[in-house]
């Protein structure tokens, strides 16, 4: 594993989040009926940070939920290392809400597909929009993000790693070359 390039540092990452927060508010015309749903693990932290950004702009705290998609994965039996099942923590009713689904990296689109299934099982939101910190291309499903922090064209021999203060001790996005 070779670290090839740092794409975002702490300041750039935070500026991207702030811009995405503005875009979310612009498109949804404010915070009415707006909720953030973060996909475990890093998406959950990003969703909380987006809520912080939105609070700075609008002085309104919007609800944040955490979604665990382990049980909805289509590759459950294919992965060598078993994913652990964690709790879904969505304590508010999502019916008729405008949900912003948040994840760190958009790649094949399969995670988002699973997340959509999981959300629909929880209720009938008015809309679901997708916000990602990084879009690295190579979609295998017809999925598109509404809000993108940074587009990073990559090859399949590379991986994009989003590191966050909360999980990794520092904020940065790097490209890594697989061996």
Partner 1 sequence: MENALVWKRKDLLGLEELSRQELELILSTAESFKEVSTREIKKVPALRGKTVVNLFYEPSTRTRVSFEVAAKRLSADVINIASETSSVRKGETLIDTGKNIEALKVDIIVVRHNYSGAAVMLARNLRASVVNAGDGWHEHPTQALLDIFTLKEKLGKIDGLKVSIVGDIAHSRVARSNIWGLTKLGAKVTVCAPKMLIPPAIEEMGVAVTHDIDEALRHADAVNVLRMQFERDEQSAFPQQLEYFKNFGITRERLEKAKKNIIVMHPGPINRGVEISSEVADGINSVILEQVTNGIAVRMSVLFLVAQANDNIKNENTD
Q: CA-based angle 82:76:154, to the nearest 5?
A: 90
- Distance between CA 47 and CA 5 in Å, rounded? 25
With residue 56 as reference, give the H or E element that holds it. helix 42-58
Among 1, 11, 26, 85, binds partner 1 (CB under 8 A): 85
Residue 59 in the binding site for partner 1 (CB under 8 A): no
Cα dihedral 106, 107, 111, 116, rounded to 10, equals 60
- Residue 117 binds partner 1, judged by CB under 8 A: yes
Identified binder of partner 1 from the candidate list 5, 60, 76, 141, rule CB under 8 A: 76
Residue 121 found at the interface with partner 1 (CB under 8 A)? yes
- Closer CB to partner 1, residue 109 or residue 123? 123
Q: Cβ(80)–Cβ(53) under 8 Å? A: no
Q: Does 81 contact partner 1 by CB under 8 A?
A: yes
Strand stretches in 94-146, DSSP E:
98-106, 127-135
Number of residues that bind partner 1 (CB under 8 A): 22
Choice between 2 and 85, CB closer to partner 1: 85
In the shown chain, the binding pattern of residues 4 to 43 toward partner 1, with x for contact by CB under 8 A and - for none, equals ----------------------------------------
């Amino acid at each position: 594993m070779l670290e090839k390039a740092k794409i975002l540092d702490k300041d750039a990452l935070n500026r991207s989040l702030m811009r995405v927060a503005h875009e979310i508010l612009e498109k949804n015309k404010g915070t009415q009926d707006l909720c953030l749903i973060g996909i475990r693990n890093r998406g959950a932290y990003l969703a909380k940070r987006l809520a912080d950004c939105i609070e700075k702009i609008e002085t309104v705290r919007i609800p944040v939920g955490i979604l665990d998609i382990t049980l909805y994965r289509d590759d459950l039996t294919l992965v060598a290392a078993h994913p652990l099942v964690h709790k879904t923590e969505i304590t508010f009713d999502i019916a008729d809400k405008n949900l912003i689904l948040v994840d760190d990296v958009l790649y094949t689109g399969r995670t988002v597909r699973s997340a959509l299934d999981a959300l629909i099982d929880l209720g009938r939101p008015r809309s679901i929009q997708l916000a990602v910190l990084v879009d690295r291309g190579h979609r295998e499903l017809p999925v598109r993000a509404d809000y993108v922090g940074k587009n990073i064209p990559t090859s399949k021999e590379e991986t994009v790693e989003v590191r966050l203060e909360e999980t990794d001790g520092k904020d940065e996005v790097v490209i890594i070359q697989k061996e």
